[in-house]
């Protein structure tokens, strides 16, 4: 089986819904045990169903990636549960609560940076010593098409997602000699709560031109024109987490129906 993850254990931040759940699903399908972390216990029962379906072990940890002590405690709990082979830094936001993307608010810059960049680093920093000791590990960071297309996005969100690419490259250089692969995935537009909330906020402002997911709207930005799914991202994450991808590091791979070609 390509991307066989039998007996491996993966931490997936923000794994309770959206892309994180698609990544959890694909990892479980490939045999990985799951440690799901999220800000609360959303969709805990869905993770439990996944574990039963694929006969894997799982642990669910409530952990806000912006809170240093929650991250330290959460990762300690994870490491007591199992050796960790894979870390997927997926938790992310596109602005502070109530963001419409129409005005530049300081709180949007700060909140987005705190979750998407500092939060990602906080979790990585907590897991890395374990991977260094084992001399093996796979880290996958979720960036975005927004980093490279800088279209249909906000400056603060695009900036954080470009920072994720730079962080990925720096870590890949620093920890390659310790046999740790670090890569990023840049997903395209996928309908999750992330977009639903944004569209609702825009509608409240009277903006009715927000149907980004019609066949026509998708066809305008990506050659494949199909509605992408969280499992599309999960399939790539599972591959990057596997030994089949052992020669790949420092890369950001677009998984976006062809929106960005570089």
Ligand X SMILES: NC(=O)c1ccc[n+]([C@@H]2O[C@H](COP(=O)([O-])OP(=O)(O)OC[C@H]3O[C@@H](n4cnc5c(N)ncnc54)[C@H](O)[C@@H]3O)[C@@H](O)[C@H]2O)c1
Q: Which residues are designated catalytic?
A: 157
Site membership for ligand X, residue 92 (CB under 6 A): yes
Binding of ligand X by 169 (CB under 6 A):
no
CA distance 93 to 64: 12
Sole window of 52-60, 176-184, 187-195, 247-255 interacting with ligand X (rule: CB under 6 A) = 187-195
**Which one among 48, 135, 155, 193 touches ligand X, defined by CB under 6 A?**
193
Q: Residues near 1 by Cβ (< 8 Å), separated by ≥ 6?
A: 30
DSSP states of 77-144 as a string?
HHHHH----EEEE----SSSTT--SSS--HHHHHHHHIIIIIIHHHHHHHHHHHHHHHT-EEEEEE--
Check binding of 51 to ligand X (CB under 6 A).
no
Residue 189 found at the interface with ligand X (CB under 6 A):
yes
Q: Which of 115, 163, 237, 238 binds ligand X (CB under 6 A)?
A: 115
Provide the token pair at 171.
């870590």
Q: Binder to ligand X among 136, 192, 229, 251 (CB under 6 A)?
A: 192
The secondary element (H helix, E strand) that includes residue 167 is: helix 155-175
Going by their DSSP bridges, the two strands 33-38 and 58-62 should be labelled as parallel
| Position 45 contacts ligand X (CB under 6 A) | no
Task: Identify the residue among 10, 14, 153, 259 touching ligand X (CB under 6 A).
Answer: 14
Given candidates 20, 101, 137, 234, which one binds ligand X under the rule CB under 6 A? 20
What residues from 61 to 90 belong to the interface with ligand X (CB under 6 A)? 64-66, 90
- Cα–Cα dist 63/37, whole Å: 6
Interaction site with ligand X (CB under 6 A): 13-14, 16-20, 38-39, 64-66, 90-93, 115, 119, 142, 144-145, 187, 189-190, 192-195
């Amino acid at each position: 089986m390509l991307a066989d993850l039998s007996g491996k254990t993966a931490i997936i931040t923000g794994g309770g819904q959206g892309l994180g759940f698609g990544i959890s699903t694909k990892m479980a399908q490939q045999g990985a045990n799951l440690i799901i972390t999220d800000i609360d216990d959303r969709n805990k029962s869905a993770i439990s169903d996944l574990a039963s379906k694929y006969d894997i072990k799982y642990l669910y940890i409530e952990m806000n990636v912006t809170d240093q002590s929650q991250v330290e405690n959460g990762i300690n709990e994870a490491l007591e549960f199992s050796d960790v082979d894979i870390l997927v830094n997926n938790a992310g936001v596109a602005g502070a609560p109530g963001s419409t993307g129409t005005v530049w608010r300081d709180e949007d810059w700060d909140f987005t940076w705190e979750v998407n960049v500092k939060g990602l680093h906080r979790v990585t920093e907590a897991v890395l010593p374990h991977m260094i000791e084992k001399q093996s590990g796979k880290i996958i960071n979720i960036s975005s098409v927004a980093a490279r297309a800088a279209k249909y996005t906000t400056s603060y969100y695009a900036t954080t997602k470009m920072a994720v690419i730079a962080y990925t490259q720096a870590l890949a250089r620093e920890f390659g000699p310790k046999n740790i692969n670090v890569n990023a995935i840049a997903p395209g537009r996928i309908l999750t709560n992330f977009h639903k909330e944004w569209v609702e906020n825009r509608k409240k402002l009277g903006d009715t031109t927000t149907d980004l997911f019609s066949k026509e709207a998708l066809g305008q930005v990506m050659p494949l024109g199909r509605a992408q799914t969280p499992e599309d991202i999960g399939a790539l994450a599972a591959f990057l987490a596997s030994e089949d991808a052992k020669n790949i590091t420092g890369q950001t791979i677009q998984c976006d129906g062809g929106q960005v070609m570089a």
